[in-house]
């Protein structure tokens, strides 16, 4: 399962979300917005930094920050 932590208005999050749409992965990714209750605490617990975007791939035990790294990872592992 893929989880993507984002923040409304974040241009780096938008870049990642555009690639997710291009790869047609919307149904495989749970998006969590820091504007929602408890999401900042959850992000800090999982990643340790107050930074988005943050991707967690629970199936591969991978987590990462940095939009370019996330995009490269998604293209490498989830492109059709």
Cβ contact 53:13 at 8 Å: yes
Task: Count the neighbouring beta carbons within 10 Å of the beta carbon of residue 2.
Answer: 20
The model's pLDDT over 1-60, given as tens digits with 9 standing for 90+, comes to 999 999 999 999 999 999 999 999 999 999 999 999 999 999 999 999 999 999 999 999
List, in order of start, the domains of the chain with CATH numbers.
2-78 (3.40.30.10)
Q: Where are the alpha helices (DSSP H) in the chain?
A: 11-22, 39-47, 67-78
Question: What's residue 80's pLDDT?
Answer: 78
pTM to 2 decimals?
0.95
């Amino acid at each position: 399962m893929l989880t993507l932590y984002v923040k409304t208005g974040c241009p780096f999050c938008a870049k990642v979300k555009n690639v997710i749409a291009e790869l047609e992965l919307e149904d495989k990714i749970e998006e969590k917005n820091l504007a929602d209750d408890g999401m900042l605490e959850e992000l800090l617990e999982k990643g340790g930094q107050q930074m988005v975007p943050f991707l967690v791939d629970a199936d591969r035990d991978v987590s990462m920050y940095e939009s370019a790294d996330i995009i490269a990872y998604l293209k490498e592992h989830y492109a059709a």
